[in-house]
Structure 1
Amino acid sequence: MTEQTETMEQSLDQPVKTNDMRAPAPYSEVRSNTAISPQAGAGTCSSCGGNGGGGMNLNDATTISYVYAIGRVEARFPNLAAEKEFAQATGRTETAGKTDQQAFHAVLSQRQNRYLVRQLCWVLTIQGLETYLLQPRDPADIDMLVDAIRPMPAPNDIDVVIGLRGPIAPPDMCNGLMVPIIVFDQIYSFGRDELIKAIPKPEKLTDKQFGPAAEELFDRIMQMTDNAGATDEHRVLNYLAMRYPAIYAKAAEKYGGDYSMTGVEVIPSSLSSTRKIFKAIFSYTHRNTDFTEKFFVRVDATEEFPFLVTKMSPYYDH
């Protein structure tokens, strides 16, 4: 492994410099306010109410299903009463000259209106599909939901949600929307361009070479079939897309050598015994000779937060 690659990978611990104080750094350390017990369950939603702020009993079931999903967070009114109450709060807020989205964000951002945040239902859409309803495990983390509502949204905005998957929401929870509930511990909110700029660029590559390569790899991971971040394999890929810049550096390097990316695969590692360890394999085929090179990393996906086991290295089929 070159000194350059080691320097890139060491940068995982460095925070991203950004002018948007709202967005957490995608490559900073994950924060969790609550200790997670591997034996806890994602149980029934017996206490879920129609206001979108009901709680889940995480000790009712016997198994945990973790989620590491990438999509867009949206706020919705669960019923007419919540919508009318929000309209009254808007009338008490200074919104002159603001767009509808800016006014919506301004109302939610005011401390005296935090009760409205709890009244709304929060939906995570993935590839345009309504996929999950969101609830904070710690009530203090409701601010993460507000941060995900941009006053000036862009098409490439990204929200990363990490948490535990619960049952299907009852129909009265979010105006008839019946999708699984996620009790989240962390939400990252940022733009795709911000993510690409935050990835450490190898010194030998120009921005013109590296940017398009990183964007293409990110888009391919996002567009993989049914990537809702609920399976271990998809959690591994989404973790790498967010937290391991070496996969982008390798893609740019191989494109520069006239290779095409011809495969991304996640399989269980032979090192798995008491823990869930997976190999993420990236294949590149030369455009003239059809020679294929493969590189892989190992990721541990046993608990809620995946982590790197071994760095990227050549992979050889057995």
Structure 2
Amino acid sequence: MEEDQDLQGPVPPRATGAVGPTAVEPKGIEPPAAGGQLASDPVYGGAWADPPGRLEPASAPVAPACGCGGPGGGQPAAAAEQPAFVYAIGQIDFRFPSLGVEKELAQAVGRLETSGLSDRQTVHSVISQPENRYLARQLCYVLNIQGLDTYLLRPRDPADFALLVDAVRPDPRPTDLDVVIGLRGPLAPPSFCNGLTLPVVFFDQLYSFDSTELIGAIERPEQIPADRFEAASHELLGRILNLGDNAGDTDEHRAVNYLAVRYQGIYHKTVEAFAGNSALSAVEVLDSRLSGARRILDVVLSYTHRQRDVTEKFAVRLDCTEEFPFVVRKLAAYYDR
């Protein structure tokens, strides 16, 4: 596999369409329940379905095209706050937005056979039923990053509620990972999710997989034993996921998160460095001098020899101008200016 290719086929597709790092269009998912109300997407201007009374919290003012009006009181459109791209990695959980929704789900539980199931398994069993998809659309879905509730999630395509349902795993594990790609919108008001006030992310893609599956999908160099390769890869992935305040909403964090799940070259180099008695001493993201009309970043990995204390640096160049980052230059030696 070429170093600059995306990881292909790391995880068998789940029944509802959630997959590993390679996107798969969900199929066979029923449309929103009848009576659903279409509202304008505050970011893209499209439409997404929601039950009545649940639209206002996710709406945001749209700056006029002329840049001469709106909430800014005559400020130029560029001065208005623009939604940020998000490429975040965490774990998805659910919340009840109100007591009424919680009681309605309890009634649905009473109509099913749930003997022997845990509470989490019971909720997943209920919202997975086609006749209960109206409940799945009513729940709040929260992305938890490094132990903190960070975003409320809304799909741009109503069919992608099935991906959220699948992400609410019946048997969650610490190694579970969810990758959310979309746009960060406004803060949700307290009435939106039972007092939980977080930014709303309108996502276009959602991957759900296990970190062990991700590492297993990476092509292992023949000269590296499997156990050493897995240990080194897990360490690199952990370092990236635990970068300070990595909420995936800055270009720098989007870049490293993209590399963590889509670019195997950094794993090969890290395993090679460990085999050569070097330690991963730093992960940095620097502005490229080639940035002009586009946002170009260099992700620099530093490896320091454990005995000689000599540091070697390697960098991947990415374009993070748009919602979906991509590699501009493959991993290569990097020299300080």
Name the TM tier (shorter chain).
Answer: 0.7 to 0.9
Contact 2:255/2:325 (CA < 8 Å) preserved in 1? yes
Distance in 1, matches of 2:185 and 2:50, equals: 11
- What runs of 5+ residues in structure 1 fail to find an aligned partner? 1-6, 34-39
Deviations 1:222-277 (A, max 9, x none): 11110000000000000000100110111000000000111100011111111111
Distance in 2, matches of 1:51 and 1:199, equals: 46
Aligned residues: 303
After the TM superposition, which residues 105-124 of structure 1 pair with which residues of structure 2 at under 5 Å, given as runs?
A: 105-124=124-143
After the TM superposition, which residues 237-248 of structure 1 pair with which residues of structure 2 at under 5 Å, given as runs?
A: 237-248=256-267
Distance in 2, matches of 1:82 and 1:270, equals: 52
Contact 1:51/1:118 (CA < 8 Å) preserved in 2? no
State the TM-score, normalizing by the size of structure 2.
Answer: 0.83
- Partner residue in 2 for 1:66: 85
Greater shift in the superposed pair: 16-25 or 240-249: 16-25
Amino acid in the other structure paired with 2:12: T
State the TM-score, normalizing by the size of structure 1.
Answer: 0.88
Does residue 92 of structure 1 match 2:111? Answer: yes
What secondary structure is seen at the aligned counterpart in 1 of 2:327? strand
Deviations 1:155-213 (A, max 9, x none): 11111111100111100011111111101111111111111111221122111110111
What secondary structure is seen at the aligned counterpart in 1 of 2:256? helix
In structure 2, relative to structure 1, the CA distance for the partners of 1:170 and 1:17 (3 Å cut) is closer
In structure 2, relative to structure 1, the CA distance for the partners of 1:24 and 1:206 (3 Å cut) is farther
Does residue 132 of structure 1 match 2:148? Answer: no
Deviations 1:11-68 (A, max 9, x none): 62632253855674434247699xxxxxx9479xxx9999766674577145331001
Distance in 1, matches of 2:4 and 2:233, equals: 19
Q: CA deviation at 1:94?
A: 2.2
- Partner residue in 2 for 1:14: 8
After the TM superposition, which residues 138-177 of structure 1 pair with which residues of structure 2 at under 5 Å, given as runs?
A: 138-177=157-196
- Partner residue in 2 for 1:271: 290
Distance in 2, matches of 1:87 and 1:244, equals: 44
- What runs of 5+ residues in structure 2 fail to find an aligned partner? 28-41, 64-76
What secondary structure is seen at the aligned counterpart in 2 of 1:135? strand
Does residue 297 of structure 1 match 2:291? Answer: no
Aligned-residue identity in percent: 50
- Partner residue in 1 for 2:22: 28
* RMSD of aligned Cα (Å): 2.6
Contact 2:57/2:192 (CA < 8 Å) preserved in 1? no
Contact 1:23/1:189 (CA < 8 Å) preserved in 2? no
- Partner residue in 1 for 2:69: none
